[in-house]
Amino acid sequence: MNRLLAPTPPMGWNSWDCYGASVNEEQLLANADYMAKYLKEYGWEYIVCDIQWSEPAADSFDYHKFAPLCMDEYSRLIPAPERFPSSAGGKGFKPIADYIHSLGLKFGIHIMRGIPRQAVHSGAKIKCDGVSARDIAQTFSVCSWNTDMYGVDPRAHGAKEYYESIFELYASWGVDYIKCDDIANTEFRPDKPYSAKEEIELLRGALERCGRPMVLSLSPGPAPVEEHEHLAANAELWRMTGDFWDSWDKLHDMFSRCFAWQEYVQPGAWPDCDMLPIGRLAVCGKTSWNKARYTNFTHDEQITMLTLWSIFRSPLMIGAEMRDNDEFTLSLLTNRELIDMLKNSHGARQLRRNEADGKGEIVWISKGKDCKFAALFNTDDKTREISFDITDVALGGGKYKVWDMWAHKEFAVTDGEFTAETAPHGARLFRITRD
């Protein structure tokens, strides 16, 4: 596998948190424009169109069950022109990809594993002589939360060809990033936990042969830790949890997941903390369970999230409708020091975790070039003085400079321990160098 596809954690924007299943061309392009103007210089580059872009009537976070999808003659889903006008006439996502490329950015799309149920039931052909969609569908393999697809039987003649045909199409559009869904979790499924393993291999094989480099992202989580080798061999990123949203419980839970995966972070293979639900969310409305709002996270919680995601080296995907970003939100995304750590550090690990009833202190450390990073997290609901002993990351016998990476100023010069006041649910992030 070509590790160069994602030598550092992918950074970008994904349409799900703000537009659910309903994102359209205008929204995609406007957010691309925003990224090019305000964020690109910091390293942000992917614009990812999430689920159900082939459903003409999608309008919220809910799926219209059994809704007709736009599909080509080979049982391949194509963008709905009602939502993506430039795709009309069989052009697919190429015009959008071209535009995004013209901004110096990259373009990603969401897919579901499998083949459209509508192709199967209508007896549609696939791009493999004499084989129809029916022939390759795994009859009992269905997603528990979406009706679009049947799984593909990896042993069926035509299975490989079908997956190759869709990657051929995506390559022709100029796609740079594939987020494949319903494929990586360990929860209950009729066809056994992580049983889509063989479909993951089919996907990877097709991707490798399609002639265009694309990053492969697997969802949803929790992906099983014990499959870390298989995941790293077949994908650039994969989710460690179910969908992440703006609640403290989910954020607090991510510390445990990062700890469980800390040994398995490596260039080209990134365990993924999921999108950043910051700024304006759930713009599309209409959905009972997901109201339009500015993020429920406090400023301190957002700093905690960005700090953890970055020191752990998770991919960063912005969930906001970026045009509505306030100054604070933008500041989170343009912290050069943070992004430098994300891109260039390694060996992150939890140094200690002292909590009672889920409240207390967690400390992570990491290594950079000629420096160490220390992230102090306060999971308590009151301010805490969190101390850090420099000799945990350095040799003593001299002075060390402690730089505050969120305040962007020197915090201390010391030869031993220092203490930092940390807000409730907040974090402090320091770079430590020799004086």
Binding site for its own copies (CB under 8 A): 65-66, 68, 117-118, 120-123, 134, 137, 139-140, 142-147, 188-190, 347, 367, 369-372, 391-398, 400, 432-434
Judge whether 116 and 71 are in contact, CB under 8 Å: yes
Nearer CB in complex with its own copies: 69/171: 69
Task: Tell me how far, at minimum, the Cβ of 396 lies from its own copies, in Å.
Answer: 4
Question: Of 324, 364, 350, which Cα lies nearest the Cα of 30?
Answer: 324
Nearer CB in complex with its own copies: 339/432: 432
Task: Tell me how far, at minimum, the Cβ of 89 lies from its own copies, in Å.
Answer: 26
Residues 6+ apart with CB under 8 A from 180: 110, 111, 112, 113, 200, 203, 216, 217, 218, 219
Task: Tell me how far, at minimum, the Cβ of 76 lies from its own copies, in Å.
Answer: 17
Nearer CB in complex with its own copies: 65/382: 65
The Cα 120–Cα 123 span in angstroms is: 5
Tokens of 161: 């060809």
Nearer CB in complex with its own copies: 120/269: 120
Task: Tell me how far, at minimum, the Cβ of 134 lies from its own copies, in Å.
Answer: 4
Nearer CB in complex with its own copies: 58/318: 58
Task: Tell me how far, at minimum, the Cβ of 411 lies from its own copies, in Å.
Answer: 16
Nearer CB in complex with its own copies: 41/263: 263
Judge whether 364 and 375 are in contact, CB under 8 Å: yes
Judge whether 59 and 284 are in contact, CB under 8 Å: yes
The Cα 5–Cα 7 span in angstroms is: 6
Nearer CB in complex with its own copies: 358/396: 396
Nearer CB in complex with its own copies: 1/156: 156
Residues 6+ apart with CB under 8 A from 58: 20, 21, 22, 52, 64, 67, 80, 83
Question: Of 16, 19, 15, 52, which Cα lies nearest the Cα of 284?
Answer: 19
Task: Tell me how far, at minimum, the Cβ of 239 lies from its own copies, in Å.
Answer: 21
Task: Tell me how far, at minimum, the Cβ of 121 lies from its own copies, in Å.
Answer: 4
Bridge partners of 345? none
Task: Tell me how far, at minimum, the Cβ of 119 lies from its own copies, in Å.
Answer: 10
Residues 6+ apart with CB under 8 A from 122: 133
| DSSP alpha helix (H) spans, 235-377 | 248-261, 299-312, 327-333, 336-344
Nearer CB in complex with its own copies: 66/328: 66
User: Based on the number of CB atoms within 10 Å of its own CB, is 1 exposed (0-12), middle (13-18) or buried (19 or more)?
Assistant: middle
Task: Tell me how far, at minimum, the Cβ of 347 lies from its own copies, in Å.
Answer: 7
Nearer CB in complex with its own copies: 35/136: 136
Residue given tokens 């393993």 in the structure block: 197
Task: Tell me how far, at minimum, the Cβ of 188 lies from its own copies, in Å.
Answer: 7
Helix (H, G, I), strand (E, B) or coil at 29: helix
Task: Tell me how far, at minimum, the Cβ of 91 lies from its own copies, in Å.
Answer: 27
Q: Which DSSP string corresponds to 58-99?
A: --SSS--TT----B-TTS-B---TTT-GGGGGGTTTHHHHHH
Q: Which amino acid is at 346?
A: H
Helical (H) or strand (E) element with 164: helix 159-173
Nearer CB in complex with its own copies: 187/421: 187
Judge whether 167 and 209 are in contact, CB under 8 Å: yes
